[in-house]
Structure 1
Amino acid sequence: MFRALVLLVMLAAHLGAATTVLDTFDTVTVSTPASGCTVSSVAARVGNGVQLAWQSASKQKFAYASAGQGGASWDAAAGISFWVKGDGSDHLGAIEFIWNGDYGQRYAAAFRINSTAWTKVTIPWSDLIPEVSNSGNVPLDPAGVKKPSLLQNMAFGKWWYWRDDAACTYVVDDFALESSITQDTNLYRPAGSPLARVRAKLQVGSPITVVTMGDSLTDYLHNSNTSTNWPTYFKSGALSGYGCTATVINPAIGGTELRHNLVMLGKWTQVTTTPDLVTIFFSYNDWTSGMRGAQFRQVLVDAIRRVRRATLGTADVMIMNTCPADVDWDTMLELAQAGRLAAADENAGICDIWDAFHAYGSTHSQLYSDGVHLSSA
């Protein structure tokens, strides 16, 4: 009965929503990059659509859509939509906007192309994620400073931080504004201990699956981690300490920031939507790009909520707060504190890396292989 009621409410919301098509894509109104992508007109779900055939290693190549220029009607809308027919691969497509002509204010979203059937992609303004860590790049809000009406230069393509830039093809049709978008507003915040479920599995030696979101301190492929990386230590410790086999899904990418990895969240959720634990370990690149304490707390809260919604609350979430650098030993304290506060805000787990490293005092240099990344110590 409850499920039927929910479906009726969602149907009523859908019937009351209006879709305003801005571009049918019946003609090619998307620019062709100088290299890396072939843009063409093909038969679509209604009339024609625009096909984008991306070559491998084509990130930082963009195909601009002429209809992707904000206006007053955008502030009255809940977000945007378009239809996609993918190539059946596990790669993602991506779109970007520039805000008010400022390339330091960028917003992005990713979408799946793993279905060869037509699928409607609906993106509320809150899911166009700020890509840059400066203080001005805050979430879009029709009632606030960052109004969607000032979005410009919508483009299909991936910015520098994407590792998933293999060849892929998709077709898009009917770019539109949506007057109403149904969103999952459940916070999935645990009532008790934030790590109770994964701890219970460890204690009885049950297998667990862990997703390790992070930058170069977590990335297996970063050259500093070929012999020393904490996810491998975690797996070994789970086995030796608890007799527990840990499967680690590691989407971490060196050089990236937390927001970049929120854009790419749909990549690892194609592998699993039911991990036992998701760890979130960022700071250094965010700091160097301009992120500071109060804003980082907000971004971490957003990250916790997005992970919980993506996993429908099945995953325990743990913040691993700031790892200090050898030379900048105390510089990023406000980010470490932001991690503690965000974990408390959302009742997430906290692994206090900052305090663990500072316990070494004057002998801390031994912890690093290069002043930033971990040594075998």
Structure 2
Amino acid sequence: MTRAFDHRLDRARSTAGAAGLDALLITPGAALRYLIGYDAIPLERLTCLVLPVVGPATLVVPELEAPAAVASGVGDLRVRLLPWAETDDPVALVAGLVPHARRVGLDDQMWAEKVLRLRAAMPDAEQRPAGAVLATLRMRKAPDEIDALREAGAAIDRVHARMGEWLRPGRTEAEVGRDIAEAIVAEGHARVDFVIVAAGPNSASPHHETSDRVIEMGEPVVVDIGGTTPAGYCSDSTRTYAAGEPPAEFVAAHDALVRAQEAAVRHVMPGVSAGSVDLAARDVLHAAGLGEHFIHRTGHGIGLETHEEPYIVGGNAMLLEAGMAFSVEPGFYLPGRYGARLEDIVVVTDTGAERLNNRPRDLLVL
């Protein structure tokens, strides 16, 4: 893995240089994990990877955090470790490492307080978001990353396979949600990222999460769940269940949703635009009279973060490439009545798409 991180650093330098940047400044978050494998704690104390386009990489790190950085494997990379003591000025240390920089890229998740302090310490350097530079690298997954996403997908599938143990009339959304959260960890995740259990009219709210509402007989229940595995990669999968036989009109609408998701997945291949995948799903729901109730994009990229590039949304002209991983999750939402969503993670292959979630997609009546 050491070689892979060194390769990522080299690619980041090259991409940053092509974007007109002199250096990247990366603080704790997914970008730092991607580049050097260090899952640093975001603190008021500054941790910052200084990556000049020309010259050595340096990790400026609080002295008390240096052992954790070494334990993460940073010491095996072509990265110099520069610990700083409590009485040092870490922002000045960062500025001193790139004294002639005129344009620096800051990771998109850098705290505003640190952005402003760096701006004051580097008055001659224009600050630019580094997100586009890093997204260019992170969107196209390497084979080991795809393997990690496969494992995450299989783990969340195992949780969905157990839904009959917990989801039934008479229980609250919150009670079901707690059982699901325990299972997410038990089935192979390091942590729970989110649990949505939305029953009846709550299913018409895409990000409802859970409540103390009791699930009633025949109600649709949207279950959207995800976590992060020990390898650091995320899962995200949605199925819609019914707690007993649902109304016939809902069954027909869900059938259209299955067709919409299938159309979008079939459309995925290298060279098509992200926006056209969104349109493939939307066309089916429009034909079924549900188009106006599909109120969100069709998907989002996934990897070290649950939501990252590429975004599968109308108007996005980005052309898909092999190795890109994202959700395909059309839905419909009728306020005050019901809603549904169907979500799988897919990876673009040389000839189409590989689904990483493989639970049944038809409406599951429990």
TM-score band by shorter chain is: under 0.3
Larger Rg: 2
> What is the TM-score when the length of structure 2 is the normalising length?
0.27
> What is the TM-score when the length of structure 1 is the normalising length?
0.27
Higher relative contact order (CA 8 A, sep 6+): 1
